[in-house]
Structure 1
Amino acid sequence: MQQLLKRLPGVSLAVLIAILAVYIENILPGHYIGATVIAMFLGILFRTVYYDENQLQEGVQYASKKILKGAIILLGASLNFSIILEVGSQTLLVLIFTLLTAFGGGYLLGKVFDINWKLSNMIAAGTAICGGSAIAALAPVIEAKDSDVSYAISSTFLFDVLMIVLYPIIGTLIGLSDTFFGYWAGTSINDTSSVVAASFAFSEVAGEVETMVKLTRTLAIIPTVLIFSTIYYRKKLKQPERRKAKVSLSGLIPWFIIIFVLMALLNSVGFISPEISGVMKTISRFLMVVALAAIGLKTNLSVFIRTGFKPFVHGFILSSLVVVVSYVVVLFIIG
């Protein structure tokens, strides 16, 4: 009970910020900015203005770690592998090229700009898959710093805002078809809310195509977290104090990722009804907003200043590469 009381102030603040973020998202025209991004920035703002570490830290820490893992588990209930059969091999081929570009380019750019591998790969995951959700899912697997999570989300978010405006204009100027635009936007714009806004601004048909493509793209979260879980575990085993440690499944794949994948499998075989899946997705989304609010509350602006603009340049160049590669691959494969 005493521990619960210690966590209550911090968790309550994160929940209140999350509620405010969802409200702001709903009143903003076009829903261009997702509640997760809004919550994170509100958290950073609140910390800058006022933050009592003794009162809030334990609850904020709990929300940014435990609640985030709960959100990831519930996210699995909204993922369905059967969507792959619906979209066909053409969509998968486009996605393979964009994923390879994002992670391959992210690795090289991380070396060029001398950015730590965790931050670099979170930017790549956000660019390759679905912005903040992918970054939030990857962060606990590689034990990323909260400041790096905030930086990764910020760098991908700024590019998304620009693309919401530019994509419909470019698509109209060069005379893209609705289907082409849907594939292009669905495989190259990062955050879900941003790609939906850009696609439906172009046309209803483009929005429908994009939705199917984006759902397939979101499934890439599963192999991504599994691969990086393995990579990070191997990195830890190379540390001098861990070299004699035995390989264990719990260390190789965190428990919450196992449940996350299991939830996706249960949903794919129809064990979870569409109604329950929808409810779990809604809860997951809100818990993700709460967790991002907490991560914002733990992020000090001085860390951003010390890190500099390199991660933003990294994210911008990487997102631009994905845009170009996506366009070329869609042109050759879809036509």
Structure 2
Amino acid sequence: MNSNNKPQQPTATALVGDIGGTNARFALWRGEHLEAIEILACADYPRPEDAVREYLQRVGQPLSAIDNVCLACAGPVGDADFRFTNNHWVISRDAFRAELGLSHLLLVNDFSTMAWAASRLGGDDLVQVRDGAALDGRARLIIGPGTGLGVASLLPLPGAGWHVLPCEGGHVDLPVSGERDFAIWQQLREKYGHVSAERVLSGSGLENLYQASCKVDGVAPLALSAAQIGERALAGDTYCDAVLEHFFLWLARVAGNAVMTVGALGGVYITGGIVPRFLERFQRSGFADAFCARGKTSGPYLSQVPVWVMTAQHPGLFGAGVALEQALLAGD
């Protein structure tokens, strides 16, 4: 979280955005809720300021009514101006605030907003997929296979509030737990060199897992996308179903390793575009058992850690609102 502005209290209406390489999602944050969600194509606008003006015009909101903005940006966010890696936009903090007349501009990493969302989402937006008892005062882990593999931690602050710790946990080494894992890992290593968790636990990773599994088994692979692999699995294709199951088991091991690394006994929140899409199949998978099927020390450590899947429709936007709210209250 980064801002260069004076401390102030939240105003009645703020603007939040979730900006990726292709699309920019915007919404109004009012009364701790999202309103007027719109999706704009980044390629249609020379600058992010132009997209913000277009959004406000679409929803009938005057620019003068917006004093505070939080934008979730795809990529590492520091104190400097932000350059998007997958589109032509640049956010110059001072120029952006000056042109739009803002008091407060907050830029956060896009996956960090998933962690902010996890600090506030209620039962209607969460499905528990592993029983346990979350410990108060302990970190929470947020992990999300999607375009890539996002990982973040949510740390409780003394008294109240949360601190989000972003990281590059998707690029840790892929854990190998058996002969089949090793055979698939060898195929991936031959192709990519370093085999990160993201090489399997992402959209392209599911495709990698399918192709490598076919090579190991001597099966002629089809040219299937991640979505098609999942759809075929749900339709009764036993081979694709086995690949999807292996995906879920590998997610369990990576998530369990991350919990032990950061001491996330406050629970695990799974987000991203893959698991929520196949939620019923995920609930029938071996994830819950594989999560703590480990040695005599690590198994008991993980045994009571609960796991939820985030099913909120726009968790990135919601998390941006929560991040902005806490930043204004804290004077960050």
Aligning the two structures, in what range does the TM-score lie when normalised by the shorter sequence?
Answer: 0.3 to 0.5
- Which structure carries more relative contact order (alpha carbon 8 Å, separation 6+)? 1
Kindly indicate which of the two structures has a greater share of residues assigned to helix.
Answer: 1
TM-score of the superposed pair, with normalisation by structure 1: 0.32
Rg comparison, structure with higher value: 2
TM-score of the superposed pair, with normalisation by structure 2: 0.33
Kindly indicate which of the two structures has a greater share of residues assigned to strand.
Answer: 2
